[in-house]
Each structure stands twice: as C-alpha cells, then as structure tokens.
Amino acid sequence: MTNESPDEPSVGRRTTRREDAALLTGDAAYTDDLTAPGAVHLAFVRSDHAHARLDGVDTSGATDLDGVVAAYTWDDLDASDAPMVLGSSGLDVDAPGHPVLARDRVRYQGQPIAAVVAEDRYVASDAVAAVDVTYNTFDATTDPAEATAEDAPTLYEAAPDNVAATGELGDREATDRAFETADHAVALDLRNNRLVANAMEPRAALARYDEAEERLTVELTSQSAHGHRRDLSRTLGVREGRIRVVAPDVGGGFGHKGHHYPGEAMTAWAARELGRPVRWTATRSENYRAGAHGRDHVTHAELAVDDGGTVRGLRAETNVGLGGYALGSSAAIQVGYGRLLSGEYRIPAIHCEARSVFTTTAPVHTYRGAGRPESIYVVERLFDAAARELDLDPVELRRRNLVGADAFPYETPVGATYDSGDYERAMDRALDAVDYSENREESRQRDDDDGRYRGVGVANYVESTGGGFESGVVRVHPDGSVAVYAGTHSHGQGHETTYAQIVADELGVDEESIEVSEGDTDSVPTGTGTFGSRSTVTGGNAVAESARAVREKARRIAAHQFEAPPDDVAYDAGEFHVTGDPSRTIPFSEVASAAYGSGLPDGVDRGLDETTFYEPEGTAYTFGTHVARVAVDPESGEVEIERYVAVDDCGPRVNPTIVEGQVHGGVAQGVGQARYEAAVYGEDGALLTDSLSRYGVPKTTQLPDVETDATETPSPTNRLGVKGIGEAGTIAAPPAVVNAVVDALSPLGVEHVDMPLTEETVWTAIRDASE
C-alpha cells in the first residue's frame, strides 16, 4: 500500500489495493480452501426436468455405496424440527416458499430433490447418480410474457395465470392525458435478456456444529453475513445467537451471493444432524441451473413527445420472469423496477405497470444493477426512437429534457427524489471525448474504406445507491493501532483499502496502522451487507462517524493531560497540542494507551472504541453518460466497439483507481449483456446455456478499451458526500451499445435489435429490415 505523503488526505488518493497481494498470489482462503478435519461432503440430486410431479425418490442405491454417510429427502427434513422452507415475501398470491428439498413437485430444472453426504466428494457424486427419481412431467413455460397466456401451464393453484405479484408506479390518468395531447408517440417492444452471474468462485458452504455449545458455525460465500444468519435462523429454526456466519474471502458475488438458497441451508442442517463438519461446493453447472438469474424483462414502452422535442410522458408495461419460486423479496424488487423510469429527465407524467410471473426456470433475483439497468434501458432506447421520429439529434433531444443542475432535489413522478447532479456537464464531457458532432456525420453513411456502417450510442443514467443502515466499529488498541469492523462485505470491491483511507483521514493516522474486517457475525455487531452499491455511502459513513467519535474522545483525554479545556486542544498529523502552543505535543498512540489506563477525565469511560449504526438521509443518485462508437459489418453482422467512453459521477471518489476498476468491471458485464450473454431455455424448460462454454461471458479480447473520466458532485445525503459506483457500468453499457448499433444500421431501416447483439441477431435484423 502506498501512502507517500501522510500530510495529504488519504481520501481521493490512488492507494494501491491492499487486498490484492493475497488474491493474486493464491494466498486468499475461499470457503472451499478452509480446512475442517473429519468433514464430509454434501451433493445434491437435482431435477432433470423443469416441471414435474415426483412419484418416487429412492435413495437406497446411494446409501448402499461404501463411503456414503447419509441420503436425505423432504421426508427427513419434514420429520425434523426445522421448517426447511425458504421464506418469500411481497407476493400477491399464497404460493409456498422454496422447500430446501422438493416436497412432491419440481418447478425448475436443477431444483434440489435429495441430498447425499459422503466421506469424499467423488463418492458423493457417485451417490447422486445412484438415486432413482420417478417423474411425471408437465409442460414447461419459460417466457414471462407467454406464461400469463390462458393456455400456459400453471405452476401454483393460487396463481392460475402465473402472476405472483403486480405493482404500479406513477399516475396512469395523467400519463394517458399526456399521450392524448402530445404531437407524437413512439413505442418499443423490448426484452431485457436473462443473465447468469458468473463469479469466479461458485457458491459454497462449510458448516460445523458444536454439540456441547449448541452452536452452529457456517462459513459461506456471502455478500451479507448477518443477512444469511437471519435467513438460516428462520429456515433452521435456530435462534440467531446460536449461529455464527463467516464470509471469508469470496470470489465475486454480483448480487447472486446475497440470497438465501437451499444449498447453504441444507449443509447447515446436515452438520447439525450428523454432528460432523459438512461441506458443499457448487459445480459451475449447478450455479448455472440453480443460482439466481437476473433481468428477464419483457416490456412494451412508449414515449410521448412534442414537435419541439419536449417529452410529455412515458409509460411501460413489463412482465418479469420470477422463476419457479420467489426467493425472499425477489417479486417485490422486480415489480419496483420502475422507480428509475424518469432517467436523467424531466418527464411530467410516467406510468409503469409490472408483473412478476412464475416460470419453470431458475429463480430470478438481483444481478448487478437489479432494476436500474432495466429502467434505464427502456428510457434510453425510447429517447433514441423519439429522436428518430422527430428527425432530431438524439443528444439534442436529451439536452432539451435533462433535469437542470439547479433543480435539485428533484422529485420524479415515480417516487424518486434525486439528491444532486450536473447531468449536462457529465454528458458534454463524454461527448467531447468522442468528438460527438463529427462522428454523427460519419454514422449516417457507409464508410467506403471497409464497408462497415458506423454509429454512436449515448446513454445517460442515474443509479440509486446507499439504501438502509450499516454498522461501523472503530476500535483503537492501546498501542494506537486501529481495528475497523463493518457490516458490509467486500468480495472484490476493495473495502479494506477504501475504509482504511476514510478512517485514516478522520483519525489523522497512517493507513498502515488500520486493519479492516468484515463478514463475521461474531465480531461485527450487526450489518446489512454489500449490494445495491451501498457500502461506501452506508458503511463508509458508519466507520467515518465512529472514527470521528473516537477522535473526539481522544481529544478529551489529551485535554485532561494538558490540563486544558477540550476546545483549546488541536489535532494535527496524529498529534494533539494546545492551540497556539505547538511546542508540547501528545501523539495519538499515547492517548490511546492512556484511554485504557486510570486517571481519565470525569465522564469519560475507559477504552477507545466506538460503534455507529448509520443511515443516510435519503438515497444518493449516481449519474453519468456512457458513449459507444461502433462499426457494424452488414455482411456478417459483426459489431466492433471502436471507442467506449464512460463519464461517471459518484461524488468525491475515495479511491479513483478503485472507482475506475468498478466502472471497467461493470462495463464488461454491461457489454456482455448487450452483445453475448443470455440464459436460454429450451421448450422443455432445460437450460441450454448451462456452462461457460455455452454461455457467452465476454473474453478480454471481446471488450473495448474503456476510457474513464469523472465529475464529482457531492451528495447532500451523507457527510462524506459520496455516492456508490459498483453498478454504474452495467446500467449504462447496454443502452449505449444498442443505441450505437441501431444508429449505425438506421440507414438500412433497422429500428431496434434485442440483446444480445450477436452476429446472428444483427444480421437477421438487417435482413428483416430490408424485406
């Protein structure tokens, strides 16, 4: 870690990530690396079929094998005192939660039916193959639009049309009026393709049960240790105080390690049942078939606009695939997606209607961005379609409707209050970087040199960040070294580095003296976790508040030693002195030692240790503009992203290098969605893209060089003024790329292409437009 100039603030510095040495040299300890003498291995028998009644599950073939310790079905779970059904909330219908092992019916391919436990994982794998399941199969329904049709197969009696939850945002009547009176209306039918989270490390758990203490310890791939403890407590029927959850090094999450799944609950249950450590590590294909997927929206959207380019209204109707079961609050999250449908714009009337629909597919929950990419994609595609209808430059249409820099706080018609921003400044910076006007000319004509069509795509976005509360503890040891604990969890984001930077500034100590810990329910008082780009806003401010409180307490202790009033004591570069008399100083470490001794001033407790539960005053809205410049070969449909510029504003950047890394990663996933990735189901409900060789995670050679830049508009919602950045790239990249490709192909009459823009889809769109 570099800290060349301790007199300069740490926040804002490009400090090297302190976590990288271990991660890059193989010293990190992921769940599957953890040792547990005597551990047995759990593996799942998963449904071959997407939709079936179970007429028999015979585990005798498995239990007959040498080395098999146990084989469990729902009957075993049912006979125990644990509920073993994952909770769901936000449903309009009375559909049961996800049973850890199937009761008598399966609703997606890969749903766990039985669990086997064996002395090693190879025997466990053989045992899985030896379990005999008799299925009575039903038709599958995998498309969220088709699943509501009258003749579609039904997953639950309580939801005959498969609709699990509905939600409405905005004002339907006002929006209808805006459409009736506007000069133009444009419409688009869009699909936001279903995605699979591809963390490097698949999900895993290691559970141990201490019978004497009646205590369960579960180490697992988690984005939220306390969230998983709460969920495990409910599913196992064990109170939280008897469960310790530890999230060790976690190799990426991208949203899908924040949810409660059968795998981890079953592992914990078996450890208690057997009194032996039990471990389970998902295979990559298990992760594909049974890990939560993301997106899967089918949307009809319209924009009403006047001749002069003033947007009057927006409406959207969306079906969201929920999968075979609602995981936790997934249905409610999905129907709430429309909260960002105002984008960066003043749109006087908006109405959004969303339905969460059961389909015989893997459950859908949050994947990087969760709701925001889907909203922004709708808005930004509509703006391009409207610009075309008006024969107006798409940037000009955007500019005429942007929320002005003086309009904050800005309330949208869909219930969001934007805190701060200067949208036009960020947009202009991105446009300048690609010499926008010049390239517009180029995009309108075929480039004679190489026969490719060129286009420019612009995407403006807002991103809600920093929801809920977070805990932050700052504990100063007697030697002045500092321990920081937070309820968030870094699984690639770099919190060890950035929290140390924040605390170093507040305490006036070197970053080197600060250790940051997350993800252990025994050492962190409580916590919400890392998702929704919330950690810096909530956890960062929580540790900052605690550090400030520690500094104030230290000042009082120093003042007592100076025999001066605390207000007369100044603190500079790690030393206290009486204002106006810098000759006598007391270093921070000496005050730390004194804090644990006797002779403290009246009213000051022993110790130097503060805890904060911090909740920001409102949502911090990150924003920015991404621009893609593409060349499309009309013969092959091949797309090349020639330039990609990202200008993002997440308020003051704690560490600009880490922020840029987050943008790069996000853009990689956004470009992945735009061009390569899609979870594809066959008619029988089998997942066809069930491995890395069949699912298009982009390779580095398929990604553009991302040129990053930033503006910094502080948020008034929190004292650090920060906003999150973890999802910006995944939100902005899909519309930037799709707008660019459609722009390039507009001379050929192409008006829309659904993601992913593979060679085949692009070529087909060109062909269809020419017919």
Summarize as ranges the residues that interact with ligand MCN (CB under 6 A).
252-255, 368, 491-495, 498, 530-536, 650-655, 658-659, 662, 665, 722-727
Among 189, 162, 103, 99, residue whose Cα is nearest residue 322:
162
Which residue of this chain has its Cβ atom nearest to ligand MCN in the complex? 492
Tell me the closest approach of the beta carbon of residue 14 to ligand MCN, in angstroms: 10
Residue with tokens 């597919």: 361
What is the rounded CA–CA span in Å between residue 26 and residue 18? Answer: 14
> For residue 56, what is the enclosing H or E element?
strand 52-58
Minimum CB separation from ligand MCN for residue 488, in Å? Answer: 6
Of the pair 59, 498, the CB lying nearest ligand MCN is at 498
Q: Which is nearer to ligand MCN, 361 or 493 (CB)?
A: 493
Cα–Cα distance, 627 to 731 (Å, whole number): 13
Continuous H helices in 291-361:
330-335
Nearest to 483 by CA among 575, 550, 541: 550
Q: How far apart are CA 512 and CA 16, in angstroms?
A: 12
Phi, psi of 250 (to 5 degrees): -125, 125
- Could you tell me how many residues make up the chain? 771
Shortest CB 218 distance to ligand MCN, Å = 20
Smallest separation, CB 457 to ligand MCN (Å): 23
User: 528 or 625: whose CB is closer to ligand MCN?
Assistant: 528
- Characterize the bridge pairing of strands 215-220 and 243-246: parallel
In whole angstroms, what is the distance from residue 208 CA to residue 218 CA?
Answer: 6
**To the nearest whole angstrom, how small is the minimum distance from the Cβ of residue 514 to ligand MCN?**
14
Which of 401/528 has CB closer to ligand MCN?
528
Whole-number minimum distance, CB 624 to ligand MCN, in Å?
A: 12
Cβ distance to ligand MCN smaller for residue 90 or 253? 253
- Would you say 530 or 546 has its CB closer to ligand MCN? 530
Per-residue burial over 525-543, b if 16 or more Cβ lie within 10 Å, else e, is ebbbbbbbbbbbbbbbbbb
Looking at the Cβ atoms of 390 and 722, the one nearer to ligand MCN is: 722
Between 68 and 722, name the residue whose CB sits nearer to ligand MCN: 722
Write the CA distances from 106 to 57, 73, 78, 99, 567, integer angstroms: 12, 13, 17, 10, 68
**Least distance in angstroms from the C-beta of 247 to ligand MCN:** 12
Is residue 144 within 8 Å of residue 296, measured between CB atoms? yes
Cβ neighbours for 403, distance < 8 A, ≥ 6 positions apart: 344, 345, 346, 410, 418, 421, 423
Give yes or no for a contact between 419 and 650, defined as CB atoms under 8 angstroms apart: no
**What whole-number distance in Å separates Cα of residue 621 and Cα of residue 466?**
9
Residue 726: CB minimum distance to ligand MCN, A: 2
- As measured in angstroms, the least distance from the Cβ of 531 to ligand MCN is 5
Question: Cβ of residue 723: shortest distance to ligand MCN, in angstroms?
Answer: 6
Contact 743, 456 (CB under 8 A): yes
The two tokens of residue 90 are 């936000």
CB 452 within 8 A of CB 741: no
**Considering only CA atoms, which of 150, 171, 172, 155 is closest in space to residue 105?**
155
Q: Residue 360 CB, nearest distance to ligand MCN (Å)?
A: 26
CB of 484 to ligand MCN, least distance (A): 13
Judged by CB, which is closer to ligand MCN: 318, or 655? 655
For ligand MCN, the closer of residues 344 and 727 by Cβ is 727
Nearest to 539 by CA among 654, 462, 663: 654
Q: Say if strands 410-411 and 349-358 run parallel, antiparallel, or are unpaired.
A: unpaired
Q: Which is nearer to ligand MCN, 472 or 532 (CB)?
A: 532
Count of beta carbons in the 10 Å neighbourhood of residue 39: 18
Nearer to ligand MCN, 353 or 727 (CB): 727
